[in-house]
């Protein structure tokens, strides 16, 4: 049951017949504006005394709304009641009860009442049209107000926007018992609704307007039996006294409402109460000056216009506690409600703003944030890349040391990464402790505070910390900052731990920043001995392959390298000539000549840096402030820092933003936040189990996770698109087939975009099998619904035949005339679907015994004539069977054709994907070739001809790989499916 509503709803709007103008109640507007959203708004409309208020009370489990009597409201009016949604505590259920409408719905009255009807319709996310039976066009045509709707508003021209903004249309037919079975065929109310909608001839009639305005997929019909035999004491009756069938039918409506989407504007974002209030004010204003309100730009009309203004009603409502809000909702309704009415003038839209730090305060980058009430609907589509990046207010630990002195990942950080579906640019920083690493990372985040700086000789950061912010220059990307604990902390006394932190920073990042103090001298380079141990702590290939791993293979995976030299006090000169910071770095990395153990030991880290990190950059930084202010540096503005340091920091940040690449895996695989989290788990698990992290194994494990997810999401996308784009039943098989083709294409594209290394197309095959099964189910559902609908149509047509009247001499001839006319009317009825002939054949077969009885009772026919009539009827049935068999053969052929088309689409997209993968490998090999040739040239210029010659085999191998890739791309290879 729904949670009990507060007693005494407030009246929201009315339209006196004397003026025809729409009046709004300011008290009710205050209540509505206090609702932050999302909102499910259920409006009900219909003639008097047909049980609207009682139905709303049954839904809410209350007696809030007054069940109307003869002397009840004569003026059209809307009452509003708000209560928590029992299925979703974050959502508010708003019930709108309209009163004061005559049962005959005369056109003249329709004109004066249309503003209230229009308001009820526009506010609703579910619109209930409540009437007595029967289910026929004439009943739907009582809704004359539909024909005046376009006199007051212009609906969005975009079909998707119109469907998003307008409510679901639910026709509640009271005190009727629909016959829901025919033989073994179970009918549903939708079959009867289809029958009515297909009978509509005049598109300018109210029923015609209903069909034009509401999409068929958002129209429902629900039937309700009488709640109890004696309805005079209905209000005071308990649920145990009600008809169980009525309770079940009410529960069906309740579930329909709970499954409905919250009220949304045409752009798709869920509205809040304040926006609905603005919508109402806009409508009143348009009615007052005789203009037509354009709903195409309703979002802009209800948006804040002054971002420095603070919201009035909404901010006030945030200070109201539940008791105050309850009192507001329980405010007694005055006898003369018009005393509280007010014809509102247009007001400035109410705005909620968020105050941000200035550009100078934030540094070189300010993430783009939006006011809360302007954010899109909270429903996150897992099938699409997020348009808005995750914004963390502060960093958290990603990898830390457990109490057992083992590296472990932090689940909270992994959860954040798993929510990032965007490509990530990952920047890590490593260096000796107390060298200012965290300060640089805070500046990259656009903040003065964040990563802990500390001010003592102890290492402040422990493990690896992560901070995800929107990328300032690459739209649709997330910048992931990794700050590591300081290396060489004597208190740890564990060099192995430092080596693993170093290795993990290299493995996870796309840009690796090494931070040191002073100068790049031999001592500084030797402190980077961790780089010489990378091959002992990272493997490229799986151990199953006995292949020597060259430095070139590591360079494929490793990030670009940036050396940040802090507190640099020297001049950038070499042999008296000014040089750039990059030239200073390259000069420091030159190999020392000689073959002694000391020289080879000194050259080892230089060679590793040059070979592992072919893309290198250097930045030097002056001391930011005098020593006594270093401990409060995060509290200082840029104006308090040394100007050169501020300039150098700005250049550093600008380079990182512009040049840091998206994190990639070998083969051109783009890494998302979710994938980065899985990589971190894989690497840490390997380390904890005593193994060496293997890049190839990590990619294979990641492919299993990502490909499985891609199958699930592509499958879900196919089902969602199919549900959205086709309304069953379809008139022909081709309609469903064409939609299936489009949905299959998009689902495959999604899978191709989010999968990689799908060996032997195992995951793709799984997806195709799932889609084939879903399409088969949809085809079967299409056939079933068509059969049910056709049966309902036949039942209605057959219902007009008075069988007993043909039990007379000459009756059979008259009966056959009527049956032939019925068959012709049936065939002339549109919208029957693909089972039209099958349903007719089955129905006539079922009625064959009745025809035989009438024939036997017709004494005016001779036995011979009866025999001929039987033969004629039998021949007709055979023709029906033949038509059905032909149709089924055509359906089978179409299914086979659909299967063949699906195979071709699958093959085409696979070939396109493989071509892209080959191109990515080719580009990677060309890039590696250029880098190896440059390194070879440098070695030769430095006089290391032997080392340069040793690179020849690597270079030749790359050239062969490039030639092979180019040959395959020209058609020299083959593809096995």
**Domains by residue range for the chain, with CATH:** 10-329 (3.40.50.300), 360-688 (3.40.50.300), 694-917 (1.20.1000.10)
CB-CB contact of 470 with 478 (8 Å) = yes
The predicted structure's pLDDT at residue 385: 40
User: Cα separations (Å) of 533 from 371, 405, 529, 562, 597?
Assistant: 49, 21, 7, 19, 17
Residue 567, phi-psi category: left (phi > 0), alpha (psi -120 to 50), beta (remainder): left
Residues 6+ apart with CB under 8 A from 403: none
Query: Which stretches of 199-321 are DSSP H helices?
Result: 206-213, 244-259, 273-289, 298-301, 313-318
Residue 79: φ, ψ to 5°: -105, 150
Does position 710 have pLDDT exceeding 80, yes or no?
A: yes
Task: Output the six-digit token pair for 546.
Answer: 């006995």
| Distance between CA atoms of residues 573 and 950, nearest Å | 33
**Each residue of 396-437: pLDDT tens digit?**
999 988 777 889 999 999 999 998 989 999 999 998 877 778
The predicted structure's pLDDT at residue 304: 46
The predicted structure's pLDDT at residue 488: 67
DSSP designation for 533: G
| Distance between CA atoms of residues 551 and 434, nearest Å | 31
**Each residue of 904-933: pLDDT tens digit?**
777 777 777 777 777 777 777 787 788 778
- Predicted confidence band of residue 860 (pLDDT cuts 50, 70, 90): low
Range with the largest mean pLDDT of 241-255, 500-514, 829-843: 500-514
Does position 6 have pLDDT exceeding 70, yes or no?
A: no
CB-CB contact of 284 with 343 (8 Å) = yes
The predicted structure's pLDDT at residue 505: 94
Does position 820 have pLDDT exceeding 80, yes or no?
A: yes
Does position 847 have pLDDT exceeding 90, yes or no?
A: no
The predicted structure's pLDDT at residue 721: 92
User: Cα separations (Å) of 958 from 514, 921, 923, 927, 946?
Assistant: 29, 11, 11, 10, 20
The predicted structure's pLDDT at residue 857: 66
- Taking alpha carbons only, the member of 425, 939, 351 closest to residue 673 is 425
Selected residue with higher pLDDT from 349 and 393 = 393
| Distance between CA atoms of residues 568 and 546, nearest Å | 46
Instruction: Write down the mean pLDDT value for the chain.
Output: 77
Task: Output the six-digit token pair for 906.
Answer: 């699958």
**Each residue of 693-709: pLDDT tens digit?**
888 888 888 888 889 98
Task: Output the six-digit token pair for 773.
Answer: 């099964």
CB-CB contact of 429 with 515 (8 Å) = yes
Does position 107 have pLDDT exceeding 50, yes or no?
A: no
| Distance between CA atoms of residues 208 and 601, nearest Å | 88
Task: Output the six-digit token pair for 800.
Answer: 């007009």
**3-state DSSP assignment of residue 630:** helix
Tokens 């693993």 — which residue?
500
Does position 624 have pLDDT exceeding 90, yes or no?
A: no
The predicted structure's pLDDT at residue 846: 80
Does position 261 have pLDDT exceeding 60, yes or no?
A: yes
pLDDT over 90, % of the chain: 20
Selected residue with higher pLDDT from 296 and 110 = 296
**Each residue of 18-68: pLDDT tens digit?**
566 778 888 888 888 888 878 999 999 988 778 888 888 888 777 777 765
The predicted structure's pLDDT at residue 121: 92
| Distance between CA atoms of residues 412 and 935, nearest Å | 43
| Distance between CA atoms of residues 62 and 37, nearest Å | 23
Selected residue with higher pLDDT from 61 and 171 = 171
The predicted structure's pLDDT at residue 43: 94
**Each residue of 544-565: pLDDT tens digit?**
544 456 677 788 888 999 999 9
For the beta carbon of residue 17, count every other beta carbon within 10 angstroms. 14
| Distance between CA atoms of residues 723 and 738, nearest Å | 14
The predicted structure's pLDDT at residue 95: 92
CB-CB contact of 672 with 420 (8 Å) = yes
Angle between helices 762-799 and 695-725 (to 10 degrees): 10
Does position 460 have pLDDT exceeding 80, yes or no?
A: no
Element (H, E) at 94: strand 92-99
**Each residue of 470-487: pLDDT tens digit?**
999 999 999 999 999 887
Does position 158 have pLDDT exceeding 50, yes or no?
A: yes
The predicted structure's pLDDT at residue 104: 43
Work out the average pLDDT over 753-772: 88
| Distance between CA atoms of residues 401 and 484, nearest Å | 12
For the beta carbon of residue 343, count every other beta carbon within 10 angstroms. 13
| Distance between CA atoms of residues 880 and 157, nearest Å | 45
| Distance between CA atoms of residues 254 and 250, nearest Å | 6
DSSP designation for 971: I
| Distance between CA atoms of residues 250 and 267, nearest Å | 32
Beta strands 424-431; 478-484: pairing state: parallel
Work out the average pLDDT over 349-354: 26
- Taking alpha carbons only, the member of 814, 836, 813 closest to residue 825 is 836
The predicted structure's pLDDT at residue 122: 93
* Of the candidate ranges 141-155, 490-504, 799-813, the one whose mean pLDDT is the lowest: 799-813
Maximum CA extent, the chain: 130
* Of the candidate ranges 107-111, 498-502, 779-783, the one whose mean pLDDT is the lowest: 107-111
CB-CB contact of 527 with 479 (8 Å) = no
**3-state DSSP assignment of residue 746:** helix
Does position 166 have pLDDT exceeding 90, yes or no?
A: yes
Does position 617 have pLDDT exceeding 80, yes or no?
A: yes
The predicted structure's pLDDT at residue 825: 87
DSSP designation for 192: H
Residues 6+ apart with CB under 8 A from 574: 583, 584, 587
- Predicted confidence band of residue 541 (pLDDT cuts 50, 70, 90): confident
Does position 4 have pLDDT exceeding 70, yes or no?
A: no
Does position 328 have pLDDT exceeding 50, yes or no?
A: no
Partnered with residue 813 across adjacent β-strands are none
- Taking alpha carbons only, the member of 808, 564, 539, 544 closest to residue 698 is 539
Does position 324 have pLDDT exceeding 80, yes or no?
A: no
């Amino acid at each position: 049951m729904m949670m009990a509503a507060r007693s005494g709803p407030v009246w929201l709007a009315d339209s006196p017949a004397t003026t025809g103008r729409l009046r709004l109640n300011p008290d009710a507007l205050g209540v509505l504006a206090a609702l932050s959203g999302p909102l499910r708004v259920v409006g009900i409309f219909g003639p008097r005394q047909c049980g609207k208020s009682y139905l709303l009370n049954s839904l809410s489990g209350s007696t809030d709304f007054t069940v109307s009597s003869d002397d009840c409201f004569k003026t059209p009016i809307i009452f509003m009641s708000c209560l928590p949604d029992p299925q979703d505590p974050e959502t508010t259920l708003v019930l709108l009860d309209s009163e004061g409408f005559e049962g005959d719905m005369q056109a003249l009255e329709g004109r004066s009442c249309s503003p209230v009807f229009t308001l009820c319709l526009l506010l609703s996310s579910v619109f209930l049209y409540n009437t007595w039976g029967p289910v026929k066009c004439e009943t739907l045509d009582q809704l004359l107000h539909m024909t005046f709707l376009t006199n007051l508003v212009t609906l969005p021209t975009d079909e998707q926007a119109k469907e998003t903004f307008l409510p679901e249309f639910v026709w509640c037919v009271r005190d009727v018992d629909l016959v829901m079975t025919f033989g073994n065929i179970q009918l549903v109310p939708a079959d009867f609704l289809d029958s009515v909608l297909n009978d509509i001839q005049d598109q300018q009639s109210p029923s015609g307007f209903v069909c034009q305005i509401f999409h068929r997929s958002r129209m429902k019909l629900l039937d309700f039996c009488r709640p109890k035999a004696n309805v005079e004491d209905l209000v005071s009756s308990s649920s145990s006294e009600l008809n169980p069938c009525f309770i079940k039918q009410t529960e069906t409506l309740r579930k329909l409402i709970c499954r409905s989407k919250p009220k949304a504007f045409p752009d798709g974002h869920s509205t809040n109460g304040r926006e609905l209030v603005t919508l109402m004010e806009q409508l009143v204003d348009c009615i007052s000056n005789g203009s037509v309100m354009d709903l195409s730009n309703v979002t802009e009309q209800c948006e804040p216009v002054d971002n420095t203004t603070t919201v009035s009603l909404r901010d006030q409502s945030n200070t109201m506690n539940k008791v105050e809000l309850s009192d507001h909702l329980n405010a007694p309704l005055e006898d003369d409600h018009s005393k509280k009415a007010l014809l509102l003038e247009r007001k400035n839209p109410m705005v909620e703003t968020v105050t941000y730090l200035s550009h100078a305060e934030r540094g070189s980058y300010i993430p783009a944030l939006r006011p809360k009430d302007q954010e899109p609907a909270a429903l996150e589509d897992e099938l699409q890349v997020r348009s808005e990046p995750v914004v963390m207010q502060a960093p958290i630990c990603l990898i830390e040391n457990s109490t057992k002195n083992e590296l472990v990942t932090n689940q909270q950080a992994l959860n954040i990464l798993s929510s990032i579906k965007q490509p990530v640019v990952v920047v890590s920083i490593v260096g000796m402790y107390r060298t200012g690493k965290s300060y640089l990372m805070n500046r990259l985040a656009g903040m003065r505070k964040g990563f802990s700086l500390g001010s003592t000789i102890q290492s402040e950061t422990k493990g690896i910390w992560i901070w995800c912010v929107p990328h300032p220059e690459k739209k649709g990307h997330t910048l992931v900052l990794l700050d590591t604990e300081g290396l060489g902390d004597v208190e740890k006394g564990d060099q192995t731990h430092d080596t693993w932190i170093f290795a993990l920073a290299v493995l996870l990042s796309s840009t690796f920043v090494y931070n040191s103090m002073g100068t790049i001298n031999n001592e500084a380079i030797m402190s980077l001995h961790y780089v010489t141990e990378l091959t002992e702590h990272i493997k490229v290939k799986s151990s199953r392959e006995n292949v020597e791993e060259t430095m070139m293979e590591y360079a494929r995976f490793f990030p670009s390298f940036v050396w940040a030299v802090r507190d640099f006090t020297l001049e950038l000169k070499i042999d008296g000539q000014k040089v750039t910071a990059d030239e200073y770095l390259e000069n420091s990395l030159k190999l020392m000549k000689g073959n002694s153990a000391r020289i080879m030991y000194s050259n080892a880290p230089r060679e590793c840096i040059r070979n592992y990190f072919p893309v290198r950059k250097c930045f030097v930084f002056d001391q930011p402030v005098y020593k006594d202010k270093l401990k409060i540096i995060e509290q200082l503005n840029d104006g308090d820092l040394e100007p050169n340091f501020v300039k150098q920091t700005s250049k550093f940040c600008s380079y990182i933003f512009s040049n840091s690449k998206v994190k990639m895996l070998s083969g051109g695989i783009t890494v998302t936040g979710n994938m980065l989290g899985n990589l971190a788990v894989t690497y840490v698990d390997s380390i904890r189990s005593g193994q060496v992290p293997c890049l190839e194994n990590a990619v294979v494990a990641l492919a299993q996770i990502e490909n499985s997810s891609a199958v699930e999401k592509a499958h879900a996308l196919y089902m969602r698109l199919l549900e959205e784009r086709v309304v069953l039943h379809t008139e022909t098989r081709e309609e469903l087939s064409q939609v299936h083709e489009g949905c299959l294409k998009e689902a495959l594209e999604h899978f191709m975009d989010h999968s990689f290394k799908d060996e032997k197309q195992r995951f793709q095959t799984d997806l195709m099998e799932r889609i084939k099964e879903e399409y088969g189910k949809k085809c079967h559902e299409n056939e079933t619904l068509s059969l049910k609908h056709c049966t309902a149509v036949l039942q209605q047509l057959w219902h007009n035949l008075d069988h007993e009247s043909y039990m007379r001499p000459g009756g059979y001839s008259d009966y056959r005339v009527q049956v032939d006319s019925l068959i012709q009317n049936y065939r002339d009825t549109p919208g029957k679907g693909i089972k039209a002939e099958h349903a007719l054949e089955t129905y006539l077969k079922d009625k064959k015994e009745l025809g035989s009885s009438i024939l036997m009772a017709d004494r005016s026919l001779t036995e011979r004539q009866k025999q001929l009539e039987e033969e004629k009827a039998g021949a007709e049935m055979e023709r029906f069977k033949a038509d059905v068999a032909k149709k089924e053969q055509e359906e089978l052929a179409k299914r086979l054709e659909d299967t063949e088309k699906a195979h071709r689409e699958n093959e085409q997209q696979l070939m396109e994907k493989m071509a892209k993968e080959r191109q990515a490998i080719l580009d990677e090999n060309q890039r590696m070739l250029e880098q190896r040739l440059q390194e070879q040239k440098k070695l030769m210029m430095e006089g290391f001809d032997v080392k340069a010659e040793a690179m020849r085999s690597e270079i030749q191998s790359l050239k062969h790989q490039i030639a092979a890739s180019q040959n395959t791309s020209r058609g020299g290879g083959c593809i096995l499916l």
